Structure 1
Amino acid sequence: MDGLKTLVSNSVNGLKGLIVTKRPQDELIAELSSASIPASADPCRTCGNPCDVGHLEYPNRLFIDNLSNMLGSVKPYMRQVVISTGKADWAHEVTEETGSLAQLLANNPSTSSSLKCTTASYPPSKPSTRIGILNGSHTSHEDETHRVLVFPDYKVVSHVPATKSGAFDLQQRALDPALGRVGAPTPNSTDIDEEVGRSYVLPYACVILICSHKKRDNRCHIAASKLETAICRELEGRGWNVDHNLRDEDCMGTSLEDLTGTEAEREQAMSELLRDAANGTLNDQKMALLIKVSHIGGHKFAGNIIIYTPQGPNGTGIWYGRVSPHEVPAVVEHTILQGQILPELLRGGVNMERAKGKSLLDW
């Protein structure tokens, strides 16, 4: 019996040694500050434990990993696309679904090895040309072509067909590593449909992506619906409008391909459109877009959300994990409204560095 107890004890201690324990907040704040990333020292959870204000609760069976260190659990990427499907759950691996745009993009490698619109990943990594491919809950066009969101560029590419030529054209005009944020100008070729592949600035102060991929892991699916409700309540209670789908007018008007001048002048014109969106001047109200997406990795850290904002030369992305409705008020207050990172929720991000004293919402 004593031998069995010793064996069990040694096994447990061995497992504990394999766990990378969660780092304390003051240590995370110091690291972020040294990297010029604005961080908040305020608590992620402002309610009591157990909750004393009536937030939605996750079921006890959710089994979230609350021990491991999350920072650095994001695979580096240059751009991330979110393809419209009108669904909140998808095949286990979206890039292996036969005939889908996700599959076609995954099989359409980069045509250039040069980096133009580089993303500064955090934690730091080598420059990457990888395109992260997600499916999203926003709907497609009536002609069954797709609306494709491109981040951190912060734009939507309209009328993309799920064909080899559609995937190739999207790559050439918006995703190639040699392209800047504004993308390629209108091609001179008469062989290309003028409507296909037109891109537009997203007219939102922020875009929130919530992993809801049940066929990958039920934890994200359960968390997503509660997070969606909590985020909408919090933002709408502060006078914001929350869209769950792009409006038709979001893919109309002057496209980025039609902006004239040099590339620098086109980039500047895009930046001015993005500033209007961030300030709420396009719709006389602060606007957020909230979309459910396929697996982003780290389902053991559910709920998983990504917040994109237009600020900065290339846009900004923040990846959070272990988010529950109890943390949503702090996420809205500190990250969406004040432009500060909540260190204990951070998994990683892109382009989060700012000059001293600046927030993520500063340009």
Structure 2
Amino acid sequence: MPTYAEQVLISTGRSNWPSKIDEDECEDSALVRQLRKNLLRDGKYSDPYHNIMLTNSSFPPTDSLVHQIKEATPSASAFLLPSFQYVPTIPTDPPSVENFIKAFVLPAKLHQTHNTLTRAQQNILLRQPDRQKHFPGARPINEILILICGHGNRDARCGTLGPILQAEFEDKLKRQNIALLRDPPVAEAEVVDTAVEGYVPTARVGLISHIGGHKWAGNVIVYIPPSFRGNPLAGKGIWYGRVGPEHVEGIVGKTVLDGKVIKELFRGGIDGEREVITL
């Protein structure tokens, strides 16, 4: 598993992309290009101790037509993990993307190595949560997320296995009375408490772009939200590799419901403190 501090999962509503997602000609690729320019190697906000993973997903973006007409600027939607936040409207012009980075993506606390920097230099690399008010509709994620690499233009194995695994996960989740969400997230007025009697768990299953490790196909990431307080994996992301349809029922039962890691499939994991999970 690649070491990362945050996965920015961009909602494209499509299930396949060019081999390099920043070369996509669709409007949502503008966000990828701006994020890559600012966050990856030699970028203004590049931080080797806070690596950012940029990934496209098949989840549909929030309808931002009104915003685009008003502002005359295309926008995108993204999930942030393991922050478990969803930002529905991110204008893709360069100043707005920098504002998004400062509001949500930068670390809340710098690695001790940065103590040698001046205060001004440190402030550039630190998150500024007060900027989140410029992104109305941002909300916590309280549903299970199951992400499956289906990037066929990058690797044929993922392109073949991805849709098969997606259908299998959806079937097995429904059999466990977990409701599948297909529409974009909507604003929530109250904090969700999954421990309340009668609460019906919800989940999203989507295809994503390349996350490394073609030889591990099928590649699956399971994110359990912090609100699932009774689950030992709440607030964590678990990476599985070499997943076949025959493994899906076990992943749903053991990992999603019981909060247990399946050692034979385990590639790694990340917790809410950005620490790597090992067995």
Tell whether the structures are fold-level matches, with TM greater than 0.5.
Answer: yes
1:157 to 76, 80, 87: 87
- Which residue of the partner structure matches residue 236 of structure 2? 316
Q: Deviations over 1:281-333 (max 9, x none)?
A: 7x931101112110011122111110111238992110001111100111011
| Contact 1:136/1:293 (8 A) holds in 2 | yes
The number of residues matched between the two structures is: 237
1:177 aligns with 2:107: yes
1:203, CA displacement in angstroms?
A: 2.7
1:141, CA displacement in angstroms?
A: 3.0
1:178, CA displacement in angstroms?
A: 2.7
1:141 to 36, 55, 62: 62
Q: Deviations over 1:210-264 (max 9, x none)?
A: 11101101111111111111111111011110123424x2x3547xxxxxxxxxx
Give the Cα–Cα distance (whole angstroms) in 2 for the partners of residues 294 and 97 of structure 1.
Answer: 12
| Contact 1:170/1:197 (8 A) holds in 2 | no
Give the Cα–Cα distance (whole angstroms) in 2 for the partners of residues 228 and 280 of structure 1.
Answer: 29
TM-score, with normalisation over the residues of structure 2?
0.76
With CA pairs under 8 Å and 6+ residues apart, which has the higher RCO, 1 or 2?
1
Give the Cα–Cα distance (whole angstroms) in 1 for the partners of residues 269 and 246 of structure 2.
Answer: 22
Q: Secondary structure at 1:223's aligned position in 2?
A: helix
1:104 aligns with 2:43: no
| Contact 2:84/2:141 (8 A) holds in 1 | yes
Give the Cα–Cα distance (whole angstroms) in 2 for the partners of residues 326 and 284 of structure 1.
Answer: 29
Seq. identity, %:
29
1:328 aligns with 2:222: no
Give the Cα–Cα distance (whole angstroms) in 2 for the partners of residues 81 and 178 of structure 1.
Answer: 16
| Contact 2:145/2:223 (8 A) holds in 1 | yes
1:211 aligns with 2:149: yes
1:85 aligns with 2:12: yes
- Which residue of the partner structure matches residue 119 of structure 2? none
- Which residue of the partner structure matches residue 231 of structure 1? 169
Question: Residues 235-254 of structure 1 correspond to what in structure 2 (within 5 A)?
Answer: 235-247=173-185, 249=186, 251=187, 253=189
1:199 aligns with 2:138: yes
Question: Residues 1-363 of structure 1 correspond to what in structure 2 (within 5 A)?
Answer: 74-97=1-24, 100-109=30-39, 128-142=49-63, 143=65, 144-178=74-108, 184-187=128-131, 196=135, 198-204=137-143, 206-247=144-185, 249=186, 251=187, 253=189, 273=191, 276=193, 278-279=194-195, 284-311=199-226, 315-351=235-271
| Contact 2:57/2:208 (8 A) holds in 1 | yes
- Which residue of the partner structure matches residue 229 of structure 2? none
Give the Cα–Cα distance (whole angstroms) in 1 for the partners of residues 234 and 255 of structure 2.
Answer: 18
Q: Secondary structure at 2:210's aligned position in 1?
A: coil
* Code of the aligned partner of 2:49: S
Give the Cα–Cα distance (whole angstroms) in 1 for the partners of residues 78 and 259 of structure 2.
Answer: 26
Give the Cα–Cα distance (whole angstroms) in 2 for the partners of residues 151 and 170 of structure 1.
Answer: 15
User: Structure 2 unaligned runs (5+)?
Assistant: 66-73, 111-126, 227-231, 274-279
1:279, CA displacement in angstroms?
A: 4.0
| Contact 1:321/1:346 (8 A) holds in 2 | yes
| Contact 2:217/2:241 (8 A) holds in 1 | yes
Structure 1 window deviating more from structure 2 (161-170 vs 339-348): it is 161-170
Give the Cα–Cα distance (whole angstroms) in 2 for the partners of residues 163 and 113 of structure 1.
Answer: 19
Answer 1 or 2: which has greater strand percent.
2
- Which residue of the partner structure matches residue 57 of structure 1? none
Q: Secondary structure at 1:177's aligned position in 2?
A: coil
Structure 1 window deviating more from structure 2 (94-103 vs 284-293): it is 94-103
| Contact 1:108/1:167 (8 A) holds in 2 | no
1:351, CA displacement in angstroms?
A: 2.0
Q: Secondary structure at 2:38's aligned position in 1?
A: coil
Q: Secondary structure at 2:154's aligned position in 1?
A: coil
Give the Cα–Cα distance (whole angstroms) in 2 for the partners of residues 327 and 352 of structure 1.
Answer: 26
Give the Cα–Cα distance (whole angstroms) in 1 for the partners of residues 36 and 203 of structure 2.
Answer: 29
User: Structure 1 unaligned runs (5+)?
Assistant: 1-73, 115-126, 255-272, 354-363
